[in-house]
């Protein structure tokens, strides 16, 4: 039974793609008919530096199994340095999640340029593989009507 669920389970992955490079890269993958796993849901953002770690955490809390943030290669940022700033946020957040005990690999980062349709598909493939290895996310997920732990046993009693 458990195995069957494991087999049929597909991770849900949220991808924040920068408007100028990675989103165009994903577009190119599409127009070039390069296949990649259908597990990702894309949100287009102006720049990978725009990503507030709060977005990533909110996604993880809402039951997303993994988050991918993708931006321009170093030096190629449309806003000159957004991706460098994003890089520091990503590095610290990833380490922090690992430290807390939420697998750091749930949050992944990549540089994908507008010309790299192939790389985009490859990155998505890798991310999906990584997340599949980790299995569905159980820690930190908000369950519907889960209003208990803070006041242990509240739901059943109060």
Partner 1 sequence: MKLKLDKKDFKPFLQTLMDEYDLFAPVQLAEGVSVFRKIDHPYEVDLSASNTQKPAKEIFFPQSETMFRYEKVGNENRMTSMEEVKRERILLGARPCDIEAISIVEKVFAGEECTDVYFLEKRKKTTIIGLGCNHPLSTCFCSSAGGDPFLRAGSDLFFIDLGEAYFVELLTEKGMIFHKNKFFKETNPKDLTLVKELEEKTFEKVGFSIPVDGIEKRLNLMAESSFWDRIHEKCIGCRICTYLCPTCHCFDIVDEGEHQRGQRVRNWDSCLSPLYSLETSGHNPRPTNRERTRQRIMHKFNYFPKNFDQVACVGCGRCILYCPVHFDIRQAIIWTSSKRPKRFGGGTI
Partner 2 sequence: MEERSKAIQDRIRDKTKELLSKKAVDLIIGFGEGSLPLRTTPIFIRSPEDVDRLIWNSFCENNLATYLHKFAQFKVGLVVKGCDARSTIALSLEKRFKPDQLFLIGVPCQRMVDRRKVKRAMKGEILRAYEQGDQIIVEGEDFKKALNRNDFLYPSCQVCPHRTPTQANILIGDPVDESPITETHPEIVEFEKKSPEERWRFFEKEASRCIRCYACREVCPMCYCNECFVDSSNPKWIDKGPSPSDLEFYHIVRAYHQTGRCSGCGACERACPMEIRLTYLTQKLNLDVRELYNFEIGIDADALPPLSTFEIDDKQEFIK
Residue 154's CB is within 10 A of a number of other CB atoms, namely 11
Interatomic CA distance for residues 58 and 145, integer angstroms: 17
Shortest distance (Å) from residue 148 CB to partner 1: 10
- Residue 152 binds partner 2 (CB under 8 A): yes
- Residue 142 binds partner 2 (CB under 8 A): yes
Q: How many residues does the chain have?
A: 158
61 contact choice in partner 2, partner 1, none (CB below 5 to 8 Å, kind-dependent): partner 2
Interatomic CA distance for residues 104 and 93, integer angstroms: 8
State whether the Cα torsion 98-136-116-56 is positive or negative. negative
- Residue 43 binds partner 2 (CB under 8 A): no
153 contact choice in partner 1, partner 2, none (CB below 5 to 8 Å, kind-dependent): partner 1
Shortest distance (Å) from residue 5 CB to partner 2: 20
Q: Provide the total of helices (H) and of strands (E) in the chain, helices listed first.
A: 6, 4
- Residue 115 binds partner 2 (CB under 8 A): no
Interatomic CA distance for residues 90 and 109, integer angstroms: 7
Interatomic CA distance for residues 20 and 27, integer angstroms: 11
158 contact choice in partner 1, partner 2, none (CB below 5 to 8 Å, kind-dependent): partner 1
Nearest C-alpha neighbor of 97 from the set 48, 129, 60: 60
Nearer to partner 1, 2 or 150 (CB): 150
44 contact choice in partner 2, partner 1, none (CB below 5 to 8 Å, kind-dependent): none
Residues forming the site for partner 2 (CB under 8 A):
53-54, 57-58, 61, 74-75, 81, 84-85, 87-96, 98-103, 108-111, 123, 126-127, 139-143, 146-152, 154
């Amino acid at each position: 039974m458990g195995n069957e669920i494991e087999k049929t389970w597909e991770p849900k992955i949220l991808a924040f793609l920068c408007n100028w490079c990675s989103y165009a890269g994903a577009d190119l993958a599409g127009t070039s008919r390069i296949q990649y796993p259908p597990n990702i849901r894309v949100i287009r953002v102006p720049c990978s530096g725009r990503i507030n770690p709060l977005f990533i955490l909110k996604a993880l809390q809402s039951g997303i199994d993994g988050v991918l943030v993708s931006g321009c290669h170093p030096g190629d940022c449309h806003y000159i340095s957004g991706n460098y700033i994003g890089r520091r946020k990503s590095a610290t957040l990833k380490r922090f999640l690992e430290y807390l005990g939420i697998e750091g690999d749930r949050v992944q980062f990549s540089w994908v340029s507008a010309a790299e349709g192939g790389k985009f598909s490859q990155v998505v493939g890798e991310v999906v593989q990584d997340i599949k290895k980790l299995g569905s996310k159980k820690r930190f997920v908000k369950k519907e009507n889960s209003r208990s732990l803070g006041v242990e046993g509240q739901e059943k009693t109060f």
